[in-house]
Amino acid sequence: MEINADSSAGVAPTHQAEPLNYLNHKKGIASWLFTVDHKRIGLMYLALIGVALFLGGVFALAVRTHLLRPSDKMLTPEQYAQMFTLHGVIMIFLVIIPGIPAVLGNFVVPLMLGAKDVAFPKLNLFSWYLFATGVVMALVTLFTGGLDTGWTLYTPYSSTSFSNVSLVGTAAFIMGFSSILTGLNMMVTIQTMRPKGMTIFRMPLFLWAAYATGIIQIIGTPVLAITLLLLLMERFFRVGIFDPAMGGDAVLFQHFFWFYSHPAVYIMVVPAFGVMSELITVHTRKTIFGYKAIAYSSVAIAILSVIVWGHHLFVSGQTMRTSVIFSIITFAVAVPSAIKVFNWMATLYKGSIALTTPMLFALSFLFTFGIGGLTGLFCGALAIDVHVHDTYFVVAHFHYTMIGVVMVMLGGFYHWWPKITGKMYHERLGQLSAVLVFIGMQMTFLPQFIMGSLGMPRRYYWYPDEFSMHHHISTGGSYILAAGFALVAFNLIWAIFNGKKAPANPWGGATMEWYTQSPPLPHNFDSAPEAGDPYDYTKVHWDNEKKEFISPYVQ
């Protein structure tokens, strides 16, 4: 790795006033493509995910715009099926699953540990290449037949569809390995590379979340890999495993798929919980309430998440006894999730809440995820689910949880952006973007709850007039939401070029990523800092002359 970098790193950047950091110590595209630095790899993930988020957003807008007046036939039924499928696949596999673990996980985890890098830096780069390969393949699909099966890829349609299921399946298979290897890397890093003084109960809660996410990735993703492999075999050789006409089992695919894809929900949500815990305490400048409860609940969710998949099969003909068991376990997941929400609210209580952009996103999450989680209980209840199954109610439910995650992700980007780029974003614009995202989100999906409960099925190309008001409000909301996302992107990019220089510790955080300079040194820390209580804000002092927070053990 060093060899490639030498050509560009020969001359020290003496002409720059900026001190040496991970961004300026080597230059040139090769120094990025062959880097093993976890911070740069995190940013490379961000670049790909940004492109994917844009595409997925455009597809969503196409769907919503079509539904504004379906009689105009803006899309053909085939195109419409392609749009919502690609929107789902891209947003889930390319944006939300890798979003927090790969971008923020890569960047923040080693810094929080006071470590120089993740445990396996080369493997980390390899994971990125796997992911990039998957992204490229997914993009190629857009021009080679697309995908029209819905993101769930259910057989038998997916094993016979003329759209390019094979390529998407292979892409998801490859990205699955990227996800497994990232999870593995994070788990090993957290378990073996903690600094002196950091017992497991002194780990920042983001690390607990990253570890729990790793557990789910390692348990769930291999099963997805084998499922996709079987699907490919089914398409190429008609092996008959999933095909009743060939002696196969009709719902086995659904079992396999959800054995991964329900835990995948928590691969997306648990890291967001971790970010939440950091945002809430730093921006209220108050110790986290119920540290152990939050930490253990992450692990509890990780374990429970792999035994609830059957709640997606309530109407698929599984036995009533099985359904009841899955329903009960599903209700049980609400307990650790609620524990977290109550602890965050208790943290806010009598804290000095600063309504910064990250905090606004965190509060948006509390509200949005609260609704998403509670309506999850509706869907998990057998009698109600039979009524709302495959309606807009379900669509609204999972968008409330998933966009909740995206809100935290954006809040996390804002929160660590000064550390990542060394520049401050525009606070007012940031707040405005948070408000737009929040309003757009509620406006888009609240009407969907209502029309879902009135019986509007999901994925339909057409709807009767009685639903037009709901659809119109929803589409209007989606434009506001899109404007909010665009403003976030603008603000973060604007900060890189025009932002004020960020201090080492702009928020007065007590975790170790704030101990090093912004942006960090190439190897993070000159000497490993000693860890204390990550949420003890008394040890971070406000220096009135410098007008900035001073961390202990400043590098």
Partner 1 sequence: MSDSHAHHDPHLAHHFDSHKQQFTAQKLGMWLFLATEVLMFGGLFVAYSVFRYNHPQMFHEGHKHLNWILGATNTVILLFSSFTMAMAVRCAQLGNNKAVIRFLAVTFACALGFMCIKYVEYSEKIAHGHLLGNLYDFEHKSEGAEGEGHSAVTHESTEDASRKSTESKPEAETQEEAAARIEGEKNQHVFFSLYFMMTGLHGIHVLVGMAIMIWLFLRARKNEFTPTHFAAVDLSGLYWHIVDIVWIFLFPLFYLIS
Asked if residues 485 and 521 have their Cβ atoms less than 8 Å apart, the reply is no
Minimum Å gap between C-beta 257 and partner 1 is 11
35 binds partner 1 (CB under 8 A): no
Cβ nearer to Cu ion, comparing 220 with 440: 220
Q: How far is the CB of 217 from partner 1 (least distance, A)?
A: 9
- 226 sits near partner 1 (criterion: CB under 8 A): yes
Tokens standing for residue 52? 């994917």
DSSP 203: S
CB of 297 to partner 1, least distance (A): 23
If one asks whether residue 27 binds partner 1 (CB under 8 A), the answer comes out as no
What's the rounded Cα separation, in Å, for the pair 421 and 392?
Answer: 40
Q: Does 299 interact with partner 1 (rule: CB under 8 A)?
A: no
Compute the least distance from the CB of residue 223 to partner 1, in Å. 5
- Interacting residues with partner 1 between 81 and 140 (CB under 8 A): 115-121, 123
| CA gap 284, 347 in Å, rounded | 8
Closest CA to 470 of 490, 494, 492, 446: 446
DSSP 547: T
- CA-based nearest residue to 41, from 104, 91, 97: 104
Binding region for partner 1 (CB under 8 A) out of 247-255, 281-289, 327-335, 372-380: 247-255
* Window of 55-63, 241-249, 407-415, 433-441 that interacts with partner 1 by CB under 8 A: 241-249
Among residue numbers 247 through 306, which ones bind Cu ion (CB under 5 A)? 262
Q: How far is Cα 468 from Cα 379, in angstroms, rounded to an integer? A: 24
Please select the residue that binds partner 1; options are 233, 329, 435, 493, rule is CB under 8 A.
233
Q: How far is Cα of residue 218 from the mean position of the Cα atoms in its chain?
A: 17
Please, which residues have CB within 8 angstroms of residue 187's CB and are 6 or more apart in sequence? 211, 214, 215, 218
Of the listed pieces 27-35, 92-100, 229-237, 406-414, which binds partner 1 according to CB under 8 A? 229-237
Q: What does residue 453 show for φ and ψ, rounded to 5 degrees?
A: -70, -20
Q: Which is nearer to partner 1, 115 or 175 (CB)?
A: 115
> Which partner in Cu ion, partner 1, none is near 500 (CB below 5 to 8 A by kind)?
none
Question: Taking the complex as a whole, how short is the minimal distance between the CB of residue 124 and partner 1, in angstroms?
Answer: 11
Q: Which does 116 bind (CB under 5 to 8 A by kind): partner 1, Cu ion, none?
A: partner 1
Distance CA 2, CA 290 (A): 45
Within 8 A by CB and 6+ apart from 78, the residues are 148
Question: What is residue 551's three-state secondary structure?
Answer: coil
User: Is the omega angle on the peptide bond into residue 156 within 30 degrees of 0, that is, cis?
Assistant: yes
Angstrom distances, CA of residue 506 to CA of 31, 184, 422, 429, 487: 29, 31, 10, 18, 22
154-213 residues in contact with partner 1 (CB under 8 A) are 180, 184-185, 187-189, 191-193
H or E element at residue 398: helix 392-421
Nearer to partner 1, 229 or 324 (CB): 229
Binding site for partner 1 (CB under 8 A): 2, 115-121, 123, 180, 184-185, 187-189, 191-193, 218-219, 221-223, 225-227, 229-230, 233-234, 236-241, 245-249, 252, 256, 522-523, 528
Binding site for Cu ion (CB under 5 A): 262
